[in-house]
Structure 1
Amino acid sequence: MASVEKRTTKDGKNSRWRVKWREGGRRENPWSSRTFDYLADAKRFRTLVESAGERMPTPEQLAEHGFAELIPAGVPAAPAPEPAEAVLTFRAYAEEWLGQLVKPHPETVRKYRERLEKHVFPRLGDRPIVEITRREMREWQQALRDAGLSAKTIANIRGETVVPIFKAACRPGEDGEPAVRTANPMDGLPLPEGPRAERDILESPDEARLFLEAAYAVDPEAADLLLCKLSTGLRWGEVSAVPPRAVNVVRGTVSIVQVLRKVNRRWVVEPKPKTKQGYREVPLTAAVARMVAERCAAASRDPGRQFVFVAPRGNHWRYEDFYTDRWVKIRDLARKKGLPRRMTMHGLRHSLLTLLATEGVDLAALRTMAGHASVTTTMNVYVHATRRHHEPVRRIVGDFLGVDALTTGSPVG
């Protein structure tokens, strides 16, 4: 049996390690040995000798286990096996995809990365991208639905991040490399089914009056902002960041020239909207135009005031503060006053766009007011069914049937 012996150099300062064995393990055969600088190497080599039947390992074995220097001169060794190719995970490919986006808006990249980290990577991040199946993606979608995410949120996650990543993986590389995948597992995969909650909106002048009365009773400053939001359909980030320079008092309009966004848990003012549709001029009613003009005049007397609508300390409103300290109180008071709705701030935008649609505003103007790239988004997401048509329907059907038919049950002769 092979053994390891400690050897000391003549000066006694260093130690070396010699592996000894008899060829074939037979006593009549001569001794063979090899010497190593490190004990670990000597033990590894001894194991090879023993596994080879107490013989010198083959050149292939020596090369494979890191002992190529022991191969006799002139004896070719089989090439060492190539290292296994690194597995390309979904996470790694997604990071590469993010880095190759052409001129992305910083907020877009932040949003995509946040969605991936929160909703995609925990389940798919470490999976080889080439092995992900349609079944996995269906189960991933359903898990998001089971976790309470709405169908619209899931559609946004998959449509803006997951689907583009798989599409990119199905295309050849920039230098002609073969595609990572041959098929997109999202193709033909429907969104998970589930009930869609209809957003509450203000449907009548009486409901709008109840809401605004509650707002001005809680805080006139906050109420002015909500009045502007309701009358223009602006998003929170747009109305809360309106600067005085964006207001045209003569024309009675407000332009969207900057927005407020939450970046890394902080609200910051971005000097331009995210898309070209975000740049738009929105008309104001006479009463709202006067209110906004008065606020602009007040801002002109205060050099430090940068916004039309300001929080108590003079800076812009933070959504969290406004929601907790103002909106919740206004919403609850409006319900006590008889408003049969559980409104959200974004519901004010839905209310305005629904009103304009039911009053016959043409689709192009409606899309412009909303700041959408497609009128389909405006109509499918923001325009709701209301009861405003009930009375006209009653009148038309009543005239068609005849008053006597409605009261006596007999047709008019």
Structure 2
Amino acid sequence: MAQIEKRTAKSGTRWRVKWRTGGGRDGQWNVETFDFQVDAKRFKALVDANGNHRPTPQQLAEHGFVELLPAGVAAAPAPEPAAAVLTFRAYAEEWLGTLVKPHPETVRKYRERLEKHVFPRLGDRPIAEITRREMREWQQGLRDAGLSAKTIANIRGESVVPVFKAACRPGEDGEPAVRTANPMDGLPLPEGPRAERDILESPDEARLFLEAAYAVDPEAADLLLCKLSTGLRWGEVSALPPRAVNVVRGTVSIVQVLRKVNRRWVVEPKPKTKQGYREVPLTAAVARMVAERCAAASRDPGRQFVFVAPRGNHWRYEDFYTDRWVKIRDLAREKGLPRRMTMHGLRHSLLTLLATEGVDLAALRTMAGHASVTTTMNVYVHATRRHHEPVRQIVGSFLCVDELTTAGGRPTRMAARVVQAPVDS
């Protein structure tokens, strides 16, 4: 898979695309440098779609990279498409223009995914002619390029399937449907290993983690304690304002989020979806900690957040991860925590705990801020070992087995107490 490197010199910033021919370790290194990052991203997508080989002269010309054509090779004019041919790219752009409900940042994300992962392979194909085999090969190509099954599912579900669904419906003015069937229907995701996220499974593991957090930085530890006890997403807990805290009820409400837009972290005045608006209960100890921080914020007119970085602003994810989280994670492992935790794993830990303790599904979905409880149960709730001992007791009682052993500890015979039903005379 090609890489993009940022190169800074006196003449300015440039972007270099590097890849090995064929993608293997023994492949020859290739390099192309661009003045703009967007051009580097487009060229990288072409290299990835071409199996880590240099794009052909025709591809370079079609995608506007005429200056990269080999010496002596003229850019052949691209053939004009027939008026009746509607490409996937043209239809997808039109579909994006009709979206009214998603947040503008969400629409931007859809377009970015299409430009990076879909258009290089399917953009110039007539949308009416794309087959299920092509879509299967497209998915497998993403998997071979190193994308996870979840990432492929997101690209497919948010930026590809809706385009084909729209193409199967009549137009707004009654025009006939562009397609008669959706090539994604019945097409499974490519196979691949699904890594189980590490979670905190017991009070001892939670204690080890929190001890490490408070040993590294009490300020950062307060944020992580709130995150672990509420299951909030990073963007929700890092942008939590004092006005969202209800000290009397001991709850926090999600009224704004921190989101990365064009490589900058900005505070959005509303959650991503309507399910994001929710009120989450706090334990007594966490409620006291949050209340104290709100009181401190009330004495500082310039403080806008419950949890603040050393400079008084909200925590940026990258800064928190590098300067705090890595140290906390490593110290927790030194203390004996047998897990390689991630920050998002804290959210998984809480939702798994609540599900294990029998919290009803509706409440669990609300705590998570999900639109569907299926997402909560299938993605965020994990199997733990807490059921092992109850299972041993239940099965042992059912079997009623006594194990007789010798002095050496090896079993000599098994004596089962069998209760016989009375025999009818």
Same fold (TM over 0.5): yes
Helix, strand or coil: the match of 1:223?
A: helix
Greater CA drift, 332-341 or 401-410: 401-410
Paired AA for residue 107 in structure 2? V
Paired AA for residue 187 in structure 2? L
Maintained 8 Å contact 1:244/1:307: yes
Tell me, in whole angstroms, the C-alpha distance in 2 between the residues paired with 1:361 and 1:86.
Answer: 56
Aligned pairs for 1:231-310 within 5 A: 231-310=229-308
Residue in structure 1 matched with residue 188 of structure 2 by the alignment: 190
Maintained 8 Å contact 1:232/1:283: yes
Maintained 8 Å contact 1:241/1:316: yes
1:367 shift after superposition:
0.5
Aligned pairs for 1:3-402 within 5 A: 84-85=82-83, 87-402=85-400
Maintained 8 Å contact 2:401/2:414: no
TM-aligned CA distance change 1:84 to 1:397, over 3 Å: closer
**Overall identity of the aligned pairs, in %:** 95
Once the two structures are superposed, what CA deviation does each residue of 1:352-382 show, in whole Å capped at 9, x if it has no partner?
0000000000111101000011111111110
Maintained 8 Å contact 2:401/2:415: no
Once the two structures are superposed, what CA deviation does each residue of 1:240-265 show, in whole Å capped at 9, x if it has no partner?
01000000011100000000000111
Paired AA for residue 169 in structure 2? R
1:403 shift after superposition:
6.0
Paired AA for residue 150 in structure 2? K
Helix, strand or coil: the match of 1:343?
A: coil
1:193 shift after superposition:
1.0
Maintained 8 Å contact 2:401/2:416: no
Paired AA for residue 130 in structure 2? I
Helix, strand or coil: the match of 1:122?
A: helix
TM-aligned CA distance change 1:84 to 1:350, over 3 Å: closer
Paired AA for residue 416 in structure 2? P
Residue in structure 2 matched with residue 409 of structure 1 by the alignment: 414
Once the two structures are superposed, what CA deviation does each residue of 1:102-125 show, in whole Å capped at 9, x if it has no partner?
232112112211211221112112
Paired AA for residue 344 in structure 1? T
Residue in structure 2 matched with residue 15 of structure 1 by the alignment: none
Paired AA for residue 409 in structure 1? M
Tell me, in whole angstroms, the C-alpha distance in 1 between the residues paired with 2:388 and 2:90.
Answer: 56
Maintained 8 Å contact 1:214/1:330: yes
Paired AA for residue 410 in structure 1? A
Once the two structures are superposed, what CA deviation does each residue of 1:17-40 show, in whole Å capped at 9, x if it has no partner?
xxxxxxxxxxxxxxxxxxxxxxxx
Stretches of structure 1 lacking an aligned partner (at least 5 in a row): 1-82
Greater CA drift, 290-299 or 183-192: 183-192
| TM-score normalised by L of structure 1 | 0.78
Give the RMSD, CA atoms, in angstroms: 1.6
Maintained 8 Å contact 1:201/1:350: yes
Tell me, in whole angstroms, the C-alpha distance in 2 between the residues paired with 1:294 and 1:100.
Answer: 47
Helix, strand or coil: the match of 1:409?
A: strand
Tell me, in whole angstroms, the C-alpha distance in 2 between the residues paired with 1:103 and 1:400.
Answer: 56
Paired AA for residue 234 in structure 1? L
Paired AA for residue 331 in structure 2? L
Stretches of structure 2 lacking an aligned partner (at least 5 in a row): 1-80, 406-412, 419-425
4+ residue stretches of structure 1 with deviation over 6 A? none
Helix, strand or coil: the match of 1:154?
A: helix
Maintained 8 Å contact 1:398/1:406: no
1:97 shift after superposition:
0.4
Residue in structure 1 matched with residue 32 of structure 2 by the alignment: none
Once the two structures are superposed, what CA deviation does each residue of 1:76-132 show, in whole Å capped at 9, x if it has no partner?
xxxxxxx94163221111111000012321121122112112211121122222221
| TM-score normalised by L of structure 2 | 0.76
Maintained 8 Å contact 2:231/2:348: yes
